[in-house]
Amino acid sequence: MGIARYRVRPPGTAELPTEREVLAEAERIRAAEEVASFGRRERKKALEVHRFAEQIAFALRGAPRSRPLTVLDGACGKSVLSFVARTLLLPRLGLRARIVGVDESAERITTCRRIARNLGLDEMEFHAGRLADVPLPPRIDVAWALHACGDATDQFLARAVRAHVRYVLCVPCCHPKIGRGFDALGLPASGRLRARVGDALLDSARFLRLEAAGYRVDAVDFAGGEVTPRNLMLRAEKTASGRSPADAAARLARLVELFPELGR
């Protein structure tokens, strides 16, 4: 079985996959999709995955090595991130994992299963369904989501919080629009500026929701604007050493008073 093939390394001694290695692995994964082309879009995805992988390595430095972790990949798409994590990153970190990918597109899930079969990765599983209500394993240690569209990010975060997932790494994608509240604050009637402020407000509400649920949260630029304009990652760990959940809940309530759409 795949899990038995892992080499175990002590934490902190791993050499992280280089950009070149991730690109080569992404090409191998693309070939396992049974598609010959590896173009600009695939290259961009590989670079995002490389940068995301660095954040996984940082976030999981204290994760247990004595048992396999269960990882949720929310809105996994073709799961390039999870395949690279499984074949390249996690073995170098000395981590074993069962990875569960979820996407509402049945077609993408079929593709993921084909790739896993072609790569001989029998400990990865993929389920078609919405993050809001798809059945999930009873215990999840790590949840990651790269560019889950619109409110899929919110569904993902809500599921992770409800499941008490210890490590959460989330890069939001396109945002649902905020319409109300800007006039009261005196913001200019510029769609572009309001969209930017709206993005920041929505991610702030997500940040505070995690803090209010007992997570220590960081908002980091994970990739650099030249790789993706959707560059913000919320990296969170459920721990007793986070900021006050009550204070976060109070801040969130103030934000929702000003921008009621953030209360959805």
Ligand X SMILES: C[S@@+](CC[C@H](N)C(=O)[O-])C[C@H]1O[C@@H](n2cnc3c(N)ncnc32)[C@H](O)[C@@H]1O
- Report in angstroms how near the CB of residue 107 gets to ligand X at its nearest: 9
Angle (CA) 233 63 97, round 5°? 85
Cβ atoms within 10 Å, residue 120: 9
Q: Which of 69, 95, 148, 197 binds ligand X (CB under 6 A)?
A: 148
State the Cα–Cα distance between residues 229 and 236, nearest whole angstrom: 21
Q: What is the token pair recorded at 260?
A: 């009621």
Per CB under 6 A, the segment of 33-41, 141-149, 189-197, 206-214 that binds ligand X is 141-149
207, amino acid identity: F
Q: What is the token pair recorded at 200?
A: 């920041």
Q: Which of 32, 46, 57, 76 binds ligand X (CB under 6 A)?
A: 76
Site for ligand X in 114-133 (CB under 6 A): 130-131
Contacts of 260 (CB under 8 A, 6+ apart): 180, 181
User: With CB under 6 A, what is the number of residues at the site for ligand X?
Assistant: 20
Site for ligand X in 94-113 (CB under 6 A): 102-105, 108
Q: Which of 30, 45, 92, 209 binds ligand X (CB under 6 A)?
A: 45
Is the C-alpha dihedral spanning 51, 232, 150, 40 positive or negative? negative
Under rule CB under 6 A, residue 146 binds ligand X? yes
- Report in angstroms how near the CB of residue 94 gets to ligand X at its nearest: 25
Q: Give contact residues for ligand X (rule: CB under 6 A).
A: 45, 75-78, 80, 102-105, 108, 130-131, 146-149, 152, 155, 173
